[in-house]
Amino acid sequence: MPQVSLYLEEVVLDQSAGRAREQELSLSRYVNGVLKRAVASEWPAGFVASFGAVGDESFVRPDGPAFADDTARADL
């Protein structure tokens, strides 16, 4: 496994080491997990490319309310 050197503030190192101990993990394994979650994709692969891919013609955005139906605004 590749190795990386990090420069951390003392407080961040202490907090990370404490959390690693709580989870019974080495500091390296704990930091690896934190970084994995930080860089993980929030959406499944291909999700954005599938936007608009529904071929059903009944699947349409409804019309919004007309401007005339909007609440009257007070002049400021």
d(C-alpha 59, C-alpha 49), whole Å = 18
Provide the 8-state DSSP code for 67: G
pLDDT tens-place string over residues 4-29: 999 999 999 999 999 999 999 999 99
When pLDDT is averaged across residues 34-57 and rounded to a whole number, the result is: 82
The interaxial angle of helices 27-39 and 10-22, nearest 10 deg, is: 100
Closest CA to 3 of 32, 24, 23, 30: 32
For the record, the structure tokens of 63 come out as 């019309």
When pLDDT is averaged across residues 17-44 and rounded to a whole number, the result is: 93
- From residue 49, give the alpha-carbon distance in Å to each of 40, 52, 56: 18, 8, 17
When pLDDT is averaged across residues 40-64 and rounded to a whole number, the result is: 80
Residue 31 has pLDDT above 80, yes or no: yes
